[in-house]
Amino acid sequence: MAERGRQHVRVAVIGSGFGGLGAAVRLRRAGITDFTVLERADAVGGTWRDNTYPGCACDVPSHLYSFSFAPDPGWPRAFSGQPDIRAYLERVTDTFGIRPHIRFNSEVLSVHWDTEALHWEIVTASGALTAEVVVSATGPLSEPKLPAVPGLDAFPGKVFHSARWDHDYDLRGKRVAMIGTGASAIQIVPSIQPTVDRLTLFQRTAPWVLPRMDRKITAAERWLHSRLPATRALRRGLLWGIRELQVSAFTKRPTELGFVQALAKSHMKKAVKDPGMQAKLTPDYRIGCKRILLSNDYYPALVKPNVDLVASGLKEVRGTTLVAADGTETDADAIVFGTGFHVTDMPIAHRVTGANGTTLAEEWKGGMEALRGTSAAGFPNFLTIIGPNTGLGNSSMILIIESQLNYMVDFLRQLDVLGGRVALDARPSAVAAWNRKIQERMERTVWNTGGCDSWYLDANGRNTTVWPGTTGEFRRVTRRVDLAEYAVLRAPARSAVDAAAAQERVA
Protein backbone atom coordinates (compact mmCIF):
# COMPACT_ATOMS: atom_id res chain seq x y z
CA MET A 1 0.00 0.00 0.00
CA ALA A 2 1.22 3.48 -0.76
CA GLU A 3 2.02 5.29 2.44
CA ARG A 4 0.35 8.55 3.13
CA GLY A 5 2.06 11.32 1.16
CA ARG A 6 4.21 8.95 -0.89
CA GLN A 7 4.20 9.66 -4.61
CA HIS A 8 2.45 7.11 -6.80
CA VAL A 9 2.98 7.08 -10.54
CA ARG A 10 1.67 4.94 -13.32
CA VAL A 11 5.14 4.34 -14.72
CA ALA A 12 8.57 4.71 -13.12
CA VAL A 13 11.43 4.72 -15.61
CA ILE A 14 14.90 3.98 -14.24
CA GLY A 15 17.70 5.81 -16.03
CA SER A 16 17.87 8.71 -18.46
CA GLY A 17 20.18 7.45 -21.16
CA PHE A 18 18.93 6.61 -24.65
CA GLY A 19 16.58 3.95 -23.22
CA GLY A 20 15.06 6.03 -20.41
CA LEU A 21 14.68 9.21 -22.43
CA GLY A 22 13.21 7.24 -25.33
CA ALA A 23 10.72 5.63 -22.93
CA ALA A 24 9.74 9.04 -21.59
CA VAL A 25 9.14 10.45 -25.07
CA ARG A 26 7.08 7.43 -26.11
CA LEU A 27 5.01 7.60 -22.91
CA ARG A 28 4.16 11.24 -23.55
CA ARG A 29 3.34 10.48 -27.16
CA ALA A 30 0.99 7.73 -25.98
CA GLY A 31 -0.79 10.36 -23.85
CA ILE A 32 0.68 9.08 -20.57
CA THR A 33 2.02 11.90 -18.44
CA ASP A 34 1.79 10.18 -15.05
CA PHE A 35 5.39 8.97 -15.01
CA THR A 36 8.72 9.75 -13.39
CA VAL A 37 12.22 9.14 -14.64
CA LEU A 38 14.59 8.21 -11.80
CA GLU A 39 18.15 9.25 -12.51
CA ARG A 40 21.05 8.63 -10.13
CA ALA A 41 23.20 11.47 -11.49
CA ASP A 42 22.46 15.16 -11.90
CA ALA A 43 22.27 15.10 -15.68
CA VAL A 44 20.81 12.99 -18.48
CA GLY A 45 22.81 10.93 -20.97
CA GLY A 46 23.62 7.58 -19.34
CA THR A 47 26.74 6.04 -20.79
CA TRP A 48 27.19 9.10 -23.03
CA ARG A 49 27.31 11.29 -19.93
CA ASP A 50 29.68 9.02 -18.01
CA ASN A 51 32.18 8.23 -20.75
CA THR A 52 34.23 11.37 -21.30
CA TYR A 53 37.58 9.73 -21.97
CA PRO A 54 39.83 11.30 -24.63
CA GLY A 55 38.72 10.18 -28.09
CA CYS A 56 35.33 8.85 -26.95
CA ALA A 57 33.08 8.47 -29.99
CA CYS A 58 30.46 6.12 -31.38
CA ASP A 59 31.30 3.55 -34.02
CA VAL A 60 27.78 3.51 -35.44
CA PRO A 61 27.04 6.42 -37.80
CA SER A 62 25.05 9.19 -36.14
CA HIS A 63 22.26 9.19 -38.70
CA LEU A 64 21.49 5.66 -37.54
CA TYR A 65 22.60 6.06 -33.93
CA SER A 66 19.77 8.49 -33.09
CA PHE A 67 16.04 8.29 -32.47
CA SER A 68 13.82 7.91 -35.53
CA PHE A 69 11.42 10.37 -33.89
CA ALA A 70 14.16 12.95 -33.29
CA PRO A 71 16.25 13.09 -36.47
CA ASP A 72 19.06 15.61 -36.51
CA PRO A 73 20.03 16.99 -39.92
CA GLY A 74 23.05 18.71 -38.39
CA TRP A 75 25.29 15.82 -37.28
CA PRO A 76 28.78 17.18 -37.89
CA ARG A 77 30.55 13.89 -38.62
CA ALA A 78 29.68 10.46 -39.97
CA PHE A 79 30.62 9.03 -36.54
CA SER A 80 29.88 11.48 -33.76
CA GLY A 81 32.02 12.19 -30.77
CA GLN A 82 30.70 11.87 -27.22
CA PRO A 83 30.13 15.64 -26.75
CA ASP A 84 27.82 15.74 -29.80
CA ILE A 85 25.85 12.67 -28.71
CA ARG A 86 25.47 13.99 -25.18
CA ALA A 87 24.31 17.38 -26.52
CA TYR A 88 21.78 15.55 -28.72
CA LEU A 89 20.33 13.77 -25.67
CA GLU A 90 20.08 17.07 -23.78
CA ARG A 91 18.19 18.54 -26.76
CA VAL A 92 15.83 15.55 -26.90
CA THR A 93 15.13 16.01 -23.18
CA ASP A 94 14.04 19.61 -23.67
CA THR A 95 12.41 19.35 -27.09
CA PHE A 96 10.04 16.65 -25.86
CA GLY A 97 9.36 18.23 -22.45
CA ILE A 98 10.94 15.39 -20.48
CA ARG A 99 12.97 17.41 -17.96
CA PRO A 100 10.07 18.12 -15.55
CA HIS A 101 9.50 14.36 -15.30
CA ILE A 102 13.06 13.59 -14.18
CA ARG A 103 14.05 13.15 -10.54
CA PHE A 104 17.79 13.72 -10.54
CA ASN A 105 20.13 12.45 -7.79
CA SER A 106 17.68 9.61 -7.21
CA GLU A 107 19.66 6.40 -7.40
CA VAL A 108 17.27 3.47 -7.14
CA LEU A 109 18.16 1.49 -4.04
CA SER A 110 15.41 -1.13 -4.03
CA VAL A 111 12.39 -2.14 -6.06
CA HIS A 112 9.91 -4.54 -4.42
CA TRP A 113 6.76 -6.04 -5.91
CA ASP A 114 3.78 -5.78 -3.59
CA THR A 115 1.72 -8.85 -4.44
CA GLU A 116 -1.42 -7.50 -2.78
CA ALA A 117 -1.39 -3.93 -4.00
CA LEU A 118 -0.08 -5.06 -7.41
CA HIS A 119 2.42 -2.28 -7.64
CA TRP A 120 6.15 -1.69 -7.24
CA GLU A 121 7.53 -0.11 -4.10
CA ILE A 122 10.62 1.85 -5.00
CA VAL A 123 13.16 3.35 -2.63
CA THR A 124 15.52 5.92 -4.09
CA ALA A 125 18.25 8.11 -2.67
CA SER A 126 15.78 11.00 -2.73
CA GLY A 127 12.75 9.23 -1.25
CA ALA A 128 10.25 6.47 -1.89
CA LEU A 129 7.45 6.08 -4.41
CA THR A 130 5.16 3.43 -5.84
CA ALA A 131 4.52 2.61 -9.47
CA GLU A 132 2.16 0.36 -11.40
CA VAL A 133 4.79 -0.35 -14.02
CA VAL A 134 8.58 -0.12 -13.89
CA VAL A 135 10.63 0.38 -17.04
CA SER A 136 14.23 -0.40 -16.21
CA ALA A 137 16.54 1.39 -18.63
CA THR A 138 19.80 1.24 -16.72
CA GLY A 139 21.67 -0.08 -19.75
CA PRO A 140 24.35 -2.75 -19.93
CA LEU A 141 27.25 -0.29 -20.00
CA SER A 142 26.62 1.60 -16.78
CA GLU A 143 28.70 -0.14 -14.11
CA PRO A 144 32.47 -0.11 -14.71
CA LYS A 145 34.20 -3.42 -14.21
CA LEU A 146 37.67 -3.61 -12.67
CA PRO A 147 39.51 -6.93 -12.69
CA ALA A 148 40.55 -8.30 -9.30
CA VAL A 149 44.29 -7.68 -9.51
CA PRO A 150 46.32 -8.57 -6.40
CA GLY A 151 48.24 -5.58 -5.07
CA LEU A 152 46.18 -2.98 -6.92
CA ASP A 153 44.95 -1.42 -3.67
CA ALA A 154 48.52 -0.65 -2.66
CA PHE A 155 49.49 0.94 -6.00
CA PRO A 156 50.74 4.41 -5.02
CA GLY A 157 49.90 6.09 -8.33
CA LYS A 158 46.69 7.14 -10.00
CA VAL A 159 44.04 4.56 -10.98
CA PHE A 160 40.87 5.13 -12.93
CA HIS A 161 38.41 3.42 -15.28
CA SER A 162 37.72 4.63 -18.82
CA ALA A 163 34.13 5.47 -17.85
CA ARG A 164 35.25 7.54 -14.84
CA TRP A 165 38.00 9.60 -16.45
CA ASP A 166 39.78 11.97 -14.08
CA HIS A 167 40.23 15.12 -16.16
CA ASP A 168 42.07 16.81 -13.30
CA TYR A 169 44.91 14.32 -13.57
CA ASP A 170 47.59 15.63 -15.91
CA LEU A 171 48.97 12.83 -18.07
CA ARG A 172 51.87 14.91 -19.36
CA GLY A 173 55.22 13.35 -18.60
CA LYS A 174 53.62 10.30 -16.95
CA ARG A 175 54.23 6.59 -17.45
CA VAL A 176 50.75 5.30 -18.13
CA ALA A 177 49.59 1.68 -18.28
CA MET A 178 46.46 1.06 -20.33
CA ILE A 179 44.71 -2.19 -19.45
CA GLY A 180 42.50 -3.71 -22.12
CA THR A 181 42.08 -3.53 -25.88
CA GLY A 182 38.30 -3.15 -26.26
CA ALA A 183 36.32 -0.41 -28.01
CA SER A 184 37.16 2.11 -25.27
CA ALA A 185 40.89 1.38 -25.03
CA ILE A 186 41.54 1.57 -28.76
CA GLN A 187 40.11 5.10 -28.76
CA ILE A 188 42.07 6.12 -25.67
CA VAL A 189 45.48 4.83 -26.83
CA PRO A 190 45.91 7.13 -29.88
CA SER A 191 44.36 10.05 -27.97
CA ILE A 192 46.79 10.00 -25.04
CA GLN A 193 49.91 8.64 -26.76
CA PRO A 194 51.14 12.09 -27.90
CA THR A 195 50.76 13.46 -24.35
CA VAL A 196 52.22 10.81 -22.08
CA ASP A 197 55.87 10.06 -21.48
CA ARG A 198 55.45 6.28 -21.89
CA LEU A 199 52.38 4.25 -22.68
CA THR A 200 52.31 0.52 -21.94
CA LEU A 201 49.36 -1.34 -23.34
CA PHE A 202 48.39 -4.61 -21.66
CA GLN A 203 46.72 -6.68 -24.36
CA ARG A 204 45.24 -9.91 -23.03
CA THR A 205 43.50 -10.64 -26.33
CA ALA A 206 44.23 -8.94 -29.64
CA PRO A 207 41.17 -7.30 -31.22
CA TRP A 208 40.24 -7.28 -34.91
CA VAL A 209 40.30 -3.67 -36.11
CA LEU A 210 38.85 -2.37 -39.38
CA PRO A 211 39.31 1.06 -40.99
CA ARG A 212 36.93 3.71 -39.72
CA MET A 213 35.16 5.43 -42.61
CA ASP A 214 34.74 8.67 -40.75
CA ARG A 215 34.50 12.07 -42.37
CA LYS A 216 33.00 15.49 -41.85
CA ILE A 217 29.43 15.78 -43.07
CA THR A 218 29.59 18.72 -45.44
CA ALA A 219 27.55 21.91 -45.06
CA ALA A 220 25.83 21.04 -48.38
CA GLU A 221 24.75 17.63 -47.05
CA ARG A 222 23.47 19.17 -43.83
CA TRP A 223 21.57 21.82 -45.79
CA LEU A 224 20.04 19.12 -47.97
CA HIS A 225 19.07 17.00 -44.95
CA SER A 226 17.32 19.91 -43.26
CA ARG A 227 15.52 21.13 -46.42
CA LEU A 228 14.64 17.73 -47.79
CA PRO A 229 13.96 15.33 -44.90
CA ALA A 230 13.58 12.49 -47.40
CA THR A 231 17.35 12.65 -48.06
CA ARG A 232 17.99 12.19 -44.34
CA ALA A 233 15.60 9.27 -44.24
CA LEU A 234 17.28 7.77 -47.30
CA ARG A 235 20.69 8.07 -45.65
CA ARG A 236 19.40 6.38 -42.50
CA GLY A 237 17.70 3.71 -44.57
CA LEU A 238 20.91 2.90 -46.44
CA LEU A 239 22.96 2.73 -43.25
CA TRP A 240 20.35 0.42 -41.76
CA GLY A 241 19.95 -1.77 -44.85
CA ILE A 242 23.69 -2.43 -45.25
CA ARG A 243 23.88 -3.62 -41.65
CA GLU A 244 20.81 -5.82 -42.00
CA LEU A 245 22.49 -7.58 -44.94
CA GLN A 246 25.56 -8.32 -42.81
CA VAL A 247 23.60 -10.15 -40.12
CA SER A 248 23.41 -13.58 -41.72
CA ALA A 249 27.21 -13.82 -41.88
CA PHE A 250 27.37 -13.28 -38.11
CA THR A 251 24.46 -15.55 -37.25
CA LYS A 252 24.47 -18.33 -39.85
CA ARG A 253 27.57 -18.31 -42.03
CA PRO A 254 30.59 -17.08 -40.06
CA THR A 255 32.96 -18.41 -42.75
CA GLU A 256 31.68 -15.60 -44.99
CA LEU A 257 33.48 -13.21 -42.66
CA GLY A 258 36.82 -14.50 -43.98
CA PHE A 259 37.32 -11.62 -46.42
CA VAL A 260 36.56 -9.08 -43.66
CA GLN A 261 39.24 -10.78 -41.58
CA ALA A 262 41.72 -10.45 -44.47
CA LEU A 263 40.84 -6.74 -44.73
CA ALA A 264 41.50 -6.26 -41.01
CA LYS A 265 44.83 -8.07 -41.28
CA SER A 266 46.01 -5.88 -44.14
CA HIS A 267 44.79 -2.77 -42.26
CA MET A 268 47.09 -3.77 -39.39
CA LYS A 269 50.02 -4.61 -41.67
CA LYS A 270 49.82 -1.21 -43.36
CA ALA A 271 50.79 0.46 -40.09
CA VAL A 272 52.80 -2.26 -38.37
CA LYS A 273 55.83 -3.53 -40.30
CA ASP A 274 57.64 -5.56 -37.64
CA PRO A 275 56.72 -9.27 -38.03
CA GLY A 276 57.04 -9.90 -34.29
CA MET A 277 54.64 -7.10 -33.53
CA GLN A 278 52.31 -8.22 -36.33
CA ALA A 279 52.18 -11.67 -34.76
CA LYS A 280 51.28 -10.20 -31.38
CA LEU A 281 48.53 -8.08 -32.94
CA THR A 282 46.94 -10.90 -34.93
CA PRO A 283 43.92 -12.34 -33.13
CA ASP A 284 43.60 -16.11 -32.81
CA TYR A 285 39.82 -16.22 -33.24
CA ARG A 286 37.40 -15.49 -36.06
CA ILE A 287 36.54 -11.87 -36.73
CA GLY A 288 33.13 -10.92 -35.29
CA CYS A 289 33.41 -13.26 -32.28
CA LYS A 290 34.20 -10.19 -30.20
CA ARG A 291 32.97 -6.77 -31.21
CA ILE A 292 34.77 -5.62 -34.40
CA LEU A 293 36.58 -2.38 -33.67
CA LEU A 294 36.98 0.57 -36.01
CA SER A 295 40.03 2.80 -35.94
CA ASN A 296 42.50 4.48 -38.28
CA ASP A 297 44.87 5.69 -35.60
CA TYR A 298 45.15 2.74 -33.19
CA TYR A 299 47.85 0.76 -35.05
CA PRO A 300 49.84 3.89 -36.03
CA ALA A 301 49.89 4.85 -32.33
CA LEU A 302 51.21 1.42 -31.30
CA VAL A 303 54.37 1.84 -33.39
CA LYS A 304 55.28 5.20 -31.85
CA PRO A 305 58.58 5.14 -29.92
CA ASN A 306 56.94 5.91 -26.55
CA VAL A 307 54.54 2.94 -26.74
CA ASP A 308 55.15 -0.62 -25.49
CA LEU A 309 52.82 -3.48 -26.22
CA VAL A 310 52.67 -6.22 -23.61
CA ALA A 311 50.82 -9.11 -25.21
CA SER A 312 49.53 -10.40 -21.91
CA GLY A 313 46.98 -9.49 -19.25
CA LEU A 314 47.75 -7.60 -16.05
CA LYS A 315 48.20 -10.19 -13.30
CA GLU A 316 49.60 -8.41 -10.30
CA VAL A 317 50.74 -5.03 -9.00
CA ARG A 318 53.82 -4.78 -6.76
CA GLY A 319 54.26 -1.22 -5.60
CA THR A 320 54.70 0.82 -8.77
CA THR A 321 55.50 -2.30 -10.80
CA LEU A 322 52.87 -3.93 -12.95
CA VAL A 323 53.37 -7.62 -13.60
CA ALA A 324 51.81 -9.23 -16.65
CA ALA A 325 50.72 -12.86 -16.81
CA ASP A 326 53.78 -13.60 -18.98
CA GLY A 327 56.06 -12.13 -16.31
CA THR A 328 56.79 -8.80 -18.04
CA GLU A 329 57.35 -6.03 -15.49
CA THR A 330 56.55 -2.36 -16.13
CA ASP A 331 56.76 0.67 -13.87
CA ALA A 332 53.88 3.10 -14.05
CA ASP A 333 52.63 6.36 -12.54
CA ALA A 334 49.03 5.75 -13.57
CA ILE A 335 46.83 2.81 -14.55
CA VAL A 336 43.84 3.32 -16.83
CA PHE A 337 41.42 0.41 -16.89
CA GLY A 338 39.55 -0.02 -20.17
CA THR A 339 38.16 -3.26 -18.83
CA GLY A 340 34.52 -2.85 -19.68
CA PHE A 341 31.29 -3.12 -17.73
CA HIS A 342 29.14 -5.45 -15.66
CA VAL A 343 26.99 -6.56 -18.58
CA THR A 344 25.81 -10.05 -17.68
CA ASP A 345 25.58 -9.32 -13.95
CA MET A 346 23.72 -5.99 -14.02
CA PRO A 347 23.84 -4.38 -10.57
CA ILE A 348 20.19 -3.24 -10.75
CA ALA A 349 19.18 -6.95 -10.82
CA HIS A 350 20.34 -7.27 -7.20
CA ARG A 351 17.99 -4.48 -6.18
CA VAL A 352 14.78 -5.75 -7.77
CA THR A 353 12.69 -8.26 -5.79
CA GLY A 354 9.82 -9.91 -7.61
CA ALA A 355 6.60 -11.72 -6.76
CA ASN A 356 8.39 -14.79 -5.36
CA GLY A 357 10.51 -12.78 -2.95
CA THR A 358 13.67 -13.43 -4.94
CA THR A 359 15.78 -10.85 -6.70
CA LEU A 360 16.21 -10.65 -10.43
CA ALA A 361 19.90 -11.46 -9.88
CA GLU A 362 18.94 -14.68 -8.04
CA GLU A 363 16.49 -15.61 -10.79
CA TRP A 364 19.20 -14.95 -13.36
CA LYS A 365 21.93 -16.90 -11.55
CA GLY A 366 21.89 -19.54 -14.27
CA GLY A 367 21.79 -16.89 -17.03
CA MET A 368 19.68 -13.83 -17.85
CA GLU A 369 16.36 -14.67 -19.51
CA ALA A 370 13.42 -12.54 -20.50
CA LEU A 371 10.50 -12.88 -22.85
CA ARG A 372 11.23 -10.94 -26.05
CA GLY A 373 14.23 -9.47 -24.27
CA THR A 374 11.91 -7.52 -22.00
CA SER A 375 9.84 -9.41 -19.38
CA ALA A 376 11.25 -11.81 -16.77
CA ALA A 377 8.87 -14.35 -15.20
CA GLY A 378 7.89 -13.46 -11.63
CA PHE A 379 8.47 -9.75 -12.18
CA PRO A 380 5.01 -8.47 -13.16
CA ASN A 381 4.72 -5.12 -14.89
CA PHE A 382 8.50 -4.85 -15.04
CA LEU A 383 10.06 -4.18 -18.43
CA THR A 384 13.78 -4.11 -19.15
CA ILE A 385 15.03 -1.97 -22.01
CA ILE A 386 18.14 -3.59 -23.52
CA GLY A 387 17.33 -6.75 -21.62
CA PRO A 388 18.75 -10.24 -22.21
CA ASN A 389 19.68 -11.10 -25.82
CA THR A 390 18.92 -7.70 -27.27
CA GLY A 391 22.48 -6.55 -27.99
CA LEU A 392 23.85 -6.10 -31.50
CA GLY A 393 27.23 -6.88 -32.98
CA ASN A 394 27.01 -4.60 -35.99
CA SER A 395 24.17 -2.08 -35.89
CA SER A 396 22.51 0.66 -33.84
CA MET A 397 21.14 -0.18 -30.41
CA ILE A 398 18.68 2.67 -30.84
CA LEU A 399 16.77 0.43 -33.28
CA ILE A 400 16.44 -2.22 -30.58
CA ILE A 401 15.47 0.33 -27.93
CA GLU A 402 12.72 1.75 -30.15
CA SER A 403 11.34 -1.75 -30.78
CA GLN A 404 11.18 -2.38 -27.05
CA LEU A 405 9.44 0.96 -26.61
CA ASN A 406 6.76 -0.17 -29.08
CA TYR A 407 6.35 -3.22 -26.86
CA MET A 408 6.17 -1.02 -23.75
CA VAL A 409 3.42 1.14 -25.24
CA ASP A 410 1.43 -1.93 -26.26
CA PHE A 411 1.96 -3.43 -22.78
CA LEU A 412 0.40 -0.34 -21.19
CA ARG A 413 -2.42 -0.38 -23.72
CA GLN A 414 -3.16 -4.01 -22.83
CA LEU A 415 -3.31 -3.10 -19.14
CA ASP A 416 -5.82 -0.36 -20.01
CA VAL A 417 -7.93 -2.76 -22.03
CA LEU A 418 -7.95 -5.29 -19.19
CA GLY A 419 -8.98 -2.52 -16.81
CA GLY A 420 -8.90 -2.27 -13.01
CA ARG A 421 -5.91 -3.05 -10.83
CA VAL A 422 -4.13 -5.52 -13.04
CA ALA A 423 -0.64 -6.77 -13.80
CA LEU A 424 0.94 -8.92 -16.50
CA ASP A 425 3.49 -11.53 -15.49
CA ALA A 426 5.41 -13.40 -18.20
CA ARG A 427 4.60 -17.12 -18.05
CA PRO A 428 7.69 -19.20 -17.22
CA SER A 429 6.77 -21.54 -20.11
CA ALA A 430 6.70 -18.61 -22.56
CA VAL A 431 10.04 -17.29 -21.31
CA ALA A 432 11.56 -20.79 -21.55
CA ALA A 433 10.23 -21.32 -25.09
CA TRP A 434 11.54 -17.93 -26.23
CA ASN A 435 14.98 -18.61 -24.79
CA ARG A 436 15.17 -22.13 -26.10
CA LYS A 437 14.73 -20.79 -29.61
CA ILE A 438 17.31 -18.07 -29.06
CA GLN A 439 19.89 -20.49 -27.70
CA GLU A 440 19.27 -22.92 -30.57
CA ARG A 441 19.94 -20.15 -33.06
CA MET A 442 22.97 -19.04 -31.07
CA GLU A 443 24.75 -22.34 -31.68
CA ARG A 444 25.66 -21.39 -35.25
CA THR A 445 26.66 -17.79 -34.61
CA VAL A 446 30.16 -16.40 -34.77
CA TRP A 447 29.83 -15.28 -31.14
CA ASN A 448 29.51 -18.89 -30.02
CA THR A 449 31.66 -20.65 -32.61
CA GLY A 450 34.37 -18.07 -33.29
CA GLY A 451 36.77 -19.39 -30.64
CA CYS A 452 36.90 -16.40 -28.31
CA ASP A 453 35.85 -15.45 -24.82
CA SER A 454 33.85 -12.23 -24.76
CA TRP A 455 31.49 -10.23 -22.58
CA TYR A 456 28.69 -11.55 -24.77
CA LEU A 457 29.03 -14.81 -22.82
CA ASP A 458 28.08 -15.08 -19.15
CA ALA A 459 29.86 -16.94 -16.36
CA ASN A 460 28.25 -20.18 -17.60
CA GLY A 461 29.48 -19.62 -21.15
CA ARG A 462 25.97 -18.88 -22.41
CA ASN A 463 25.36 -16.02 -24.80
CA THR A 464 22.67 -14.03 -22.97
CA THR A 465 23.47 -10.65 -24.47
CA VAL A 466 23.25 -10.68 -28.26
CA TRP A 467 20.17 -10.83 -30.50
CA PRO A 468 20.76 -13.56 -33.10
CA GLY A 469 18.74 -11.94 -35.87
CA THR A 470 18.15 -8.75 -37.82
CA THR A 471 16.82 -5.58 -36.22
CA GLY A 472 13.86 -5.91 -38.61
CA GLU A 473 12.98 -9.27 -37.09
CA PHE A 474 13.28 -7.86 -33.57
CA ARG A 475 10.94 -5.02 -34.60
CA ARG A 476 8.36 -7.58 -35.76
CA VAL A 477 8.52 -9.76 -32.64
CA THR A 478 8.12 -6.79 -30.30
CA ARG A 479 5.32 -5.06 -32.19
CA ARG A 480 2.55 -6.46 -29.98
CA VAL A 481 2.24 -8.05 -26.57
CA ASP A 482 0.77 -11.54 -26.93
CA LEU A 483 -1.48 -11.95 -23.90
CA ALA A 484 -1.21 -15.74 -24.17
CA GLU A 485 2.40 -15.34 -23.03
CA TYR A 486 1.36 -13.65 -19.80
CA ALA A 487 -0.55 -14.51 -16.65
CA VAL A 488 -3.06 -11.78 -15.85
CA LEU A 489 -2.94 -10.90 -12.15
CA ARG A 490 -5.81 -9.05 -10.60
CA ALA A 491 -6.08 -7.48 -7.17
CA PRO A 492 -9.10 -8.76 -5.26
CA ALA A 493 -11.96 -6.29 -5.63
CA ARG A 494 -12.00 -4.06 -2.61
CA SER A 495 -15.08 -4.17 -0.39
CA ALA A 496 -16.91 -0.90 0.18
CA VAL A 497 -15.49 -0.86 3.74
CA ASP A 498 -11.88 -1.35 2.48
CA ALA A 499 -12.36 1.34 -0.13
CA ALA A 500 -13.64 3.78 2.48
CA ALA A 501 -10.70 2.95 4.78
CA ALA A 502 -8.28 3.49 1.91
CA GLN A 503 -9.93 6.80 1.11
CA GLU A 504 -9.52 7.81 4.74
CA ARG A 505 -5.82 6.91 4.75
CA VAL A 506 -5.20 8.94 1.61
CA ALA A 507 -7.14 11.97 2.91
Closest approach of ligand NAP to the CB of residue 338, in Å? 5
Nearer to ligand NAP, 86 or 291 (CB): 291
- 147 binds ligand NAP per the rule CB under 6 A: yes
Binding region for ligand NAP (CB under 6 A) out of 2-10, 98-106, 183-191, 230-238: 183-191
Residue 469 engages ligand NAP in binding (rule: CB under 6 A):
no
Q: Helix or strand or coil: residue 355?
A: coil
Please report how close the Cβ of residue 193 comes to ligand NAP at its closest, in angstroms: 17
Kindly state whether residue 314 participates in binding ligand NAP, applying the rule CB under 6 A.
Answer: yes
To 5 degrees, how large is the angle CA 337–CA 343–CA 344?
A: 130
Q: How far is CA 481 from CA 91, 375, 378, 404, in A?
A: 31, 11, 17, 11
Q: How far apart are CA 63 and CA 55, in angstroms?
A: 20
CA distance 172 to 169: 9
**What is the C-alpha to C-alpha distance for residues 353 and 342, in angstroms, rounded to an integer?**
19
Q: Which stretch binds ligand NAP (CB under 6 A): 89-97, 339-347, 368-376, 477-485?
A: 339-347
CA neighbor of 196 nearest in space, from 176, 167, 166, 169? 176
Instruction: Give the per-residue contact string, 123-142, with ligand NAP (x = CB under 6 A; - = no).
Output: ------------------x-
Closest CB 210 distance from ligand NAP, rounded Å: 12
Buried b (16+ CB within 10 A) or exposed e, 455-482: bbbbeeebbbbbbbbbbeebbeebeebe
- Minimal distance in Å, beta carbon 454 to ligand NAP? 7
- The H-or-E segment that residue 432 falls in is helix 428-442
For ligand NAP, which residue of 103, 286, 291, 372 counts as binding (CB under 6 A)? Answer: 291
Q: How far is the CB of 139 from ligand NAP (least distance, A)?
A: 10
What gap in Å lies between CA 103 and CA 175, rounded to an integer?
41
Supply the minimum distance, in Å, between the C-beta of residue 59 and ligand NAP: 4
Q: Which of 202, 250, 411, 474 binds ligand NAP (CB under 6 A)?
A: 202
Cα 502 to chain centroid distance, Å, stands at 41
| Nearest approach, Cβ of residue 96 and ligand NAP (Å) | 24
Is residue 45 involved in binding ligand NAP (CB under 6 A)? Answer: no
Minimum gap (Å) between residue 13 Cβ and ligand NAP = 22
DSSP category for residue 101: G
Q: Of the listed pieces 200-208, 375-383, 420-428, 439-447, which binds ligand NAP according to CB under 6 A? A: 200-208
User: Measured in Å, how far apart are the chain's first and last C-alpha atoms?
Assistant: 14
Q: At its nearest, how many Å lie between ligand NAP and the CB of residue 314?
A: 4
Among candidate residues 124, 94, 92, 142, the one with its CA nearest the CA of residue 12: 124
Q: Which is nearer to ligand NAP, 149 or 423 (CB)?
A: 149
Q: Does 200 participate in binding ligand NAP (rule CB under 6 A)?
A: no
Host H or E run for residue 281? helix 275-281
**Minimum distance, C-beta of residue 355 to ligand NAP, in the bound complex (Å):** 32
Please count the residues of this chain forming the interface with ligand NAP, following the rule CB under 6 A.
Answer: 24
List CB contacts of 50: < 8 A, sequence separation 6 or more. 41, 142, 163, 164
- For residue 498, what is the enclosing H or E element? helix 496-506
Per CB under 6 A, the list member of 40, 198, 204, 225 interacting with ligand NAP is 204
Contact call for residues 222 and 73 (beta carbons, < 8 A): yes
Asked if 58 interacts with ligand NAP (CB under 6 A), we say yes
Query: Which C-beta is closer to ligand NAP: that of 143 or that of 425?
Result: 143
Residue span binding ligand NAP (CB under 6 A) among the ranges 70-78, 182-190, 251-259, 474-482: 182-190
Question: Which residues of this protein are in contact with ligand NAP, per CB under 6 A?
Answer: 57-59, 141, 147, 162, 179-185, 202, 204-205, 291, 313-314, 338-341, 455
